[in-house]
Amino acid sequence: MNRLVLAAAVALVAVAGVGSRVRAAQVDDTTTQLNFSAADRDGDGYVTEAEIAGDMAAAFSNLDKNHDGFLTREELGAHDAAAFAAIDADHDGKLSFGEVMAYKLKQLDTFDQNHDGRYSLEEIRHFDASR
C-alpha cells in the first residue's frame, strides 16, 4: 500500500512538473508499467479518468501535509516555478485538487489516441516518453 501511494505521489510530482530532481531521473518502462497497473484498479487494461482521479486523490492527500485541501510550494518541496504557475489556474499561489486534475487531464488528453476517454498502457507509454 505504501509503495502504491509512493508511486502515485511520484507520478503526481512528475506530472506536475515539480521536483526537477525526480524528473531528471528518466521514467523507465518498468516504472511506467508499475504506475499503470497501480492506476488500473479494476485491472481491465485501461486507465479511466475515474481511476486517475482515485490515484491522484491518494497522491494529493499524501502531499497535502496540513490537509487543507491545497498544495503549496512548501509542501511540494523542490519545484519548477513555471510548472507550478501553469497548474495554478487561479494564481492564488496554491494548487487545488481540481487544478491538479484539470492539468493532468489536459496533458493526457492528447494521448488518448482513439478518443475513448481511457488510456491503454501503449497510450501511457507515449505520454511518459513525451516528458
Tell me if 88 contacts Ca ion by CB under 5 A. yes
Q: Does 123 bind Ca ion (CB under 5 A)?
A: no
Query: Does the footprint of Ca ion cover residue 42 (CB under 5 A)?
Result: yes
Does position 74 interact with Ca ion (CB under 5 A)? The reply is no
Residue 66 binding Ca ion, by CB under 5 A: yes
From the CB of 29, what's the least distance to Ca ion, in Å? Answer: 19
Helix (H, G, I), strand (E, B), or coil: what is residue 48?
strand
Stretches 2-10, 14-22, 88-96, 105-113: which one binds Ca ion (CB under 5 A)?
88-96
Q: Which long-range contacts (CB under 8 A, 24 or more apart) does 35-43 make?
A: 35/7, 35/8, 35/10, 35/11, 35/124, 36/121, 36/124, 38/4, 38/7, 38/8, 39/8, 39/11
Report the C-alpha gap between 120 and 125 in whole angstroms: 9
CA 12 to chain centre: 3
Question: How far apart are the C-alpha atoms of 1 and 98, rounded to whole Å?
Answer: 24
> CB of 24: closest distance to Ca ion in angstroms?
25
**CB-nearer residue toward Ca ion: 70 or 103:** 70
Q: Of the candidates 28, 68, 74, 109, which one interacts with Ca ion according to CB under 5 A?
A: 68
The three grid cell numbers given for residue 101, joined into one nine-digit string: 486534475
Among 29, 74, 90, 109, binds Ca ion (CB under 5 A): 90
Interacting residues toward Ca ion by CB under 5 A = 40, 42, 44, 46, 64, 66, 68, 70, 88, 90, 92
